[in-house]
Amino acid sequence: MDRVSLTVRRGEVIALVGENGSGKTTLAKLLAGLYQPTGGSIRWDGVDISTLDPTSVGGCAAVLSQDWWRFPFTARQNITIGRYDRPDGAGPSVVDAARAASAHDMVTGLPRGYDTLLDRSFRDGHDLSGGQWQRLVAARGLYREGRLLICDEPSAALDARAEHALFQQLRRHPDRTIVLITHRLANVRHADRIYVMRDGRLIEEGDHDQLIAAGGLYRELFDLQASGYANRINCT
């Protein structure tokens, strides 16, 4: 990171956009306290998080990622492991989290529903497709109920319908701050603020309309994706 400065307000949805290696994931991990800055500071409500207990900081953040752990547990346990220490009845239920991630119908369709063991190494074990696992892992992150939710390509393995449903659900939590990282720029159009990165620096910021009007890197990347989609439509 090089002289990066930004303010994220509670309840906002911000998007980090840029080409591979631009620093999007690194910045998101800095915001969540997973990385410590070598210079400057990360402040939550004005408090430098380096002065806080790392466990308490980690407890306030959740991550939905394109990379996930497939635990050899039941579907229920694969969701609740996101906050294994939560007392029963506190926070959202397993079903609530699964519904929000468009995973509930998929789970109830398994041989034993939420009690289905998700590992074929064991008798009566079952496995999921990549898209199904991604929905289940999204439910894990939502069950965690962090004040800061980092979504790093959370829909990479989802079909268009499941992806749309996930992003609609993410926007329904006004008290949760969402940091969205995705190469699918159609998903960031409704973000409150979009930050465009290149080589570890913030080079543009604004909402979708402002960045399109500015004609910079965001406009270039958006137009490339839009033209590619139009070409696929013309070929059918």
Ordered domains of the chain (ranges, CATH): 1-60+149-236 (3.40.50.300), 70-145 (3.40.50.300)
What is the structure's pLDDT at 209?
95
Check pLDDT > 60 for residue 193: yes
φ/ψ of residue 150, rounded to 5 = -100, 120
Q: How far is CA 188 from the centre of its chain?
A: 12
Model confidence, pTM: 0.83
User: Distance between CA atoms of 133 and 126, rounded to whole angstroms?
Assistant: 12
Query: Over the stretch 91-114, which tens digit does the pLDDT of each residue have?
Result: 678 998 898 888 999 999 999 999
Check pLDDT > 70 for residue 60: yes
Q: How many CB atoms lie within 10 A of CB 83?
A: 19
Residue 96 structure tokens = 């609530």
| Residue whose structure tokens are 């993410």 | 170
DSSP, collapsed to helix, strand or coil, labels residue 108 as helix
pLDDT classification of 157: cutoffs 50, 70, 90: low
Handedness of CA 152, 166, 168, 149 (dihedral sign): negative
User: Distance between CA atoms of 76 and 94, rounded to whole angstroms?
Assistant: 7
What is the structure's pLDDT at 87?
65
Query: Over the stretch 10-51, which tens digit does the pLDDT of each residue have?
Result: 889 999 999 989 999 899 888 888 888 888 889 988 899 889
Lowest mean pLDDT among 18-32, 122-136, 138-152, 221-235: 221-235
What is the structure's pLDDT at 91?
61
**Residues 207 and 191 sit within 8 Å (Cβ to Cβ):** yes
What is the structure's pLDDT at 77?
92
Nearest to 62 by CA among 176, 196, 191, 182: 176
The DSSP symbol for 6 reads -
What is the structure's pLDDT at 111?
94
| 13-39 as b/e: b if 16+ CB within 10 A | bbbbbbeeebbbbbbbbbbbbbeeeee
Percent of the chain with pLDDT over 70: 90
Query: Which strands, in side-by-side order, build the sheet including 201-206?
Result: 61-65, 148-152, 177-181, 13-17, 193-198, 201-206
User: Distance between CA atoms of 112 and 108, rounded to whole angstroms?
Assistant: 8
What is the structure's pLDDT at 223?
92
| Residue whose structure tokens are 């006004």 | 174
Q: Which amino acid is at 176?
A: R
| Residue whose structure tokens are 């400057």 | 40
